[in-house]
Amino acid sequence: MGIIRLRKSDRRRARSTQWSDPHLVKMTTPEAMEAYVRTKLRKRGVDIEQKVETVFNLSRMTTAYEDVLKLSSNFEKYSPVYRAVVLAHEAVHYAQRDQYGQHRFNAKYLFSARWRVSVEIPAYREGVRAMVILGVRRKVIEKHIESVPKSLKKYFIGALDFKHVKELTTRTLRKELPGS
């Protein structure tokens, strides 16, 4: 366990900013950003649904399927900033789906931890970028960045070397901090 490292091509994908939305910078309030991303996704044909609360905490996770974005059952309880951050993150996954094709995206995402991490990092990066745009305090953003490797570990990294993933993730996300 924990011995698999990302290849050079995975690291390059993880550092790519090609799925980042240039219009996001114009959204100066979390409400405007949330509305903008929702509209963008709807125009792309994505249905946005809210999960129903279940006994398991699986409903407490936002998941992007082919053309249905299932928001966490407690999404409405998130802060406006966090709602915008989650949507900005998911919009990156749809841009990636458009690039790779649904079928390829699903297969790669399901079967390759390397690939999964390499597409999750740009999505988390867009979330950090959204926080910066919305004027979230640096200390808060830094704390969020620190928490991302743990989220990756919980759901996505499989047998990947955690230290390696953590280092790449932290270094990549910090690029969005002003003055970095």
What residues does 4 pair with on adjacent strands?
160
Report the nearest approach of Zn ion to the CB of residue 124 (Å): 7
Nearer to Zn ion, 123 or 165 (CB): 123
Report the nearest approach of Zn ion to the CB of residue 13 (Å): 14
Give 85's contacts (C-beta < 8 A, 6+ positions apart). 127, 130, 131
Site for Zn ion (CB under 5 A): how many residues? 2
Ordered alpha helix ranges (H), the chain = 8-15, 30-43, 80-100, 102-111, 113-133, 138-155, 162-174
Which segment (15-23, 107-115, 117-125, 144-152) binds Zn ion by CB under 5 A? 117-125
Contact between 123 and Zn ion by CB under 5 A: the answer reads yes
Report the nearest approach of Zn ion to the CB of residue 164 (Å): 19
Give 168's contacts (C-beta < 8 A, 6+ positions apart). 6, 11, 14, 121
Report the nearest approach of Zn ion to the CB of residue 114 (Å): 15
Nearer to Zn ion, 73 or 118 (CB): 118
Are 78 and 11 spatial neighbours (Cβ–Cβ below 8 Å)?
no
Looking up tokens 């990156």 gives: 92
Give 62's contacts (C-beta < 8 A, 6+ positions apart). 69, 70, 71, 72, 75, 86, 90
Report the nearest approach of Zn ion to the CB of residue 62 (Å): 8
Q: What are phi and psi of 172, to 5 degrees?
A: -70, -45
Contact between 148 and Zn ion by CB under 5 A: the answer reads no
Contact between 136 and Zn ion by CB under 5 A: the answer reads no
Which segment (7-15, 25-33, 100-108, 113-121) binds Zn ion by CB under 5 A? 113-121
Contact between 14 and Zn ion by CB under 5 A: the answer reads no
Residues near Zn ion (CB under 5 A):
120, 123
